[in-house]
Chain A
């Protein structure tokens, strides 16, 4: 096997690892030539030069508008792989198209959805939140009163426990990056500290749990440890600066940073302070992790350290050899991302990617590294390490430890094979 030093000598003085990965500072140093482009959709670019005075400069533009929407040319950027249970339209999931987004904030309209019985229509003037159970003072809050409380804003990812579930299958899914891994999104969430309301209600110190319940047709319900409820749980009212979207829990949702998504109960109507977990359907029959020996792990709350190269990735096509920026997202339910390494030779050698600020706890972190693609088939991988020192496992390691029947909490290193045609495929490598 070739050493990393040999690769550097052979390829480029700026090499970070084998097969063309360059030092993450190359672009900053200004030493890079024009970077290659990715094509998301069937080529529609004109080869001809534009006219010197384009049409938009010869007329008045479109009028002002009360609420903006994406450019018409971006209409193909939508949620993807929208699937619901047989005979239903709202009991399933839609996914974020990760490969066509950049930065760390997911547009609210592209935030993934996972509903258990559709999206309820809730009039905020009618909606109320009850806090009761083992409390000195059971209390009812209107949305107007909640809005008078001091608020906190935090940028956090939300990941469905079942994200990347198809990767447990024996053959890799032939889907886009977002279709496979797009049950993760990241927003700025603003709301009221649950701790504050539990204090006002006078939660019994002997109560170790709460039950959170939604006002949807599934009355989605999950038990949450009181330690988490009093630590950083938020009653979110705003997402990316505006009131929550209906599909994200309007008018109020629970938000539990780092925890599996379904625990952040949407359309929150009730919090019951309890001495035991309630053992609801979605913490017993679902969202428990069946191991190879037939036992199941229960209450596996934090989403583990994970990263995905989103560019290049399935759904995008490379447009010929040359210099590219490899870009991706990393996150951990146990805090901040400390490091992301990238390999362009299937994991033989690794180079450290640049982490784009801000690097926040329980948030997506954007990583980037330059790559000079020589046009030959190559396997790209990324491997994240979080501040707790946890490192993403390989798929083989994950399945050796937990089996392939788990369904949930898949977080292994992802391999993308770049073909010489520029196509990008999901491979187990």
Chain B
């Protein structure tokens, strides 16, 4: 194993997102601050408690999870796509790095960005007295496993995309709508009957519900199903990426 090479890969990913910190860190923090302030504090003060907790406490885990997802996804998708676009992926291809080291390097980069973004949002939540943990172990599991999952999805999109527009397709048509419909701002009991039935097929529902349970102890989904969905997806996507990198799909001509 090329440990120095892998560490360098991670350093480069850290350098990449810290040199555009306004875009990668400050923007999600400001956006989360506004969500927490407007939805949690202003709108939330006029909403009755949900499941016995204040609205700001209910909504915070969803905001946190959405930003973890976005941070991990954007990091790996844009990093890999930009390397392919500017062709400096060749710097890595000619180096004595295994394809699985490239995958792990990218994933660590995605997880680190998600963790930094998430930690910043948690600090903001503390300022609004909305941060809590009920099950710390479960919180770490959900935060890390979902960050890894979306780092993998980002890598797939980064490999597949042929334009900057295609990079945003997943975010526009999958991540954003499924997060909003997966109980980010509301209890699923508030959904119309049809959506209430369909929500069990929305994986984002399990991600948000899981972290919400870990933070405030309220759950609407079956946690076991959620854990299985995450672990199953990690295996499927990990296997697919391993295969694509091994054959050099859109990497080696």
* A complexed with B: no
Q: Chain A: residues with CB nearer than 8 A to chain B?
A: none
Name B residues whose Cβ lies closer than 8 Å to a Cβ of A: none
